[in-house]
Amino acid sequence: YKGFGLSFVIDVLAGALSGAGCSGTPGSRLGNSIFMIAIDIERFTPMELFLRRVKRFIEFIKSCPLAPGFDEILIPGEPEIRTRKLREREGIYVDEATWEQIVKAAESVGVKL
């Protein structure tokens, strides 16, 4: 039920507060609605303690039994971190057709690649 509660509050803040409307609201505009929140962690707990707690929580999550067909548990952001490291190491693959479109678009505005 925690997941539902969290999802509900986020929908209210990002939907109702932003004016985009909550999920399932007839006539609400579709697209991205923006909601940002900034938290000064040290107003609640020392940063070092917070980071230790998060690290312990991640270790707990990763120690859970794996679902059939999976070889590891990833936390939010981990796939993106891995992709970034891969791109930094190997570059970003662009297929030939896409590259040709990029070159044509660049040339159309006077940029030579």
Mean pLDDT of 75-88: 97
8 contacts 30 by C-beta, under 8 angstroms: no
Residue 51's identity, in one-letter code, is L
Q: What is the reported pLDDT for 31?
A: 64
Does a structural domain hold residue 56? Answer: yes
Enclosing domain of residue 68: 2-108
**Do residues 17 and 35 lie in contact, with contact meaning Cβ atoms separated by under 8 Å?**
yes
Q: How confident is the model at residue 54 (pLDDT cuts 50, 70, 90)?
A: very high
* Number of domain units in the chain: 1
Quickly count: other Cβ atoms within 10 Å of residue 14's Cβ: 17
The percent of residues above 70 in pLDDT, for the chain, comes to 95
Contacts of the segment 19-24: beta carbons below 8 A, 24+ positions apart? none
Percent of the chain with pLDDT over 90: 70
* Angle, CA 79 vertex, CA 74 and CA 82 arms, to 5°: 120
Q: Are 73 and 61 in contact (CB under 8 A)?
A: yes
* pLDDT tens by residue, 20-49: 888 887 776 666 778 889 999 999 999 999
Residue whose structure tokens are 């209210």: 12
> What is the predicted pLDDT for the residue at 56?
98
113: in domain: no
Q: Looking at the domain assignment, is residue 71 inside a domain?
A: yes
Is residue 12 in some structural domain?
yes
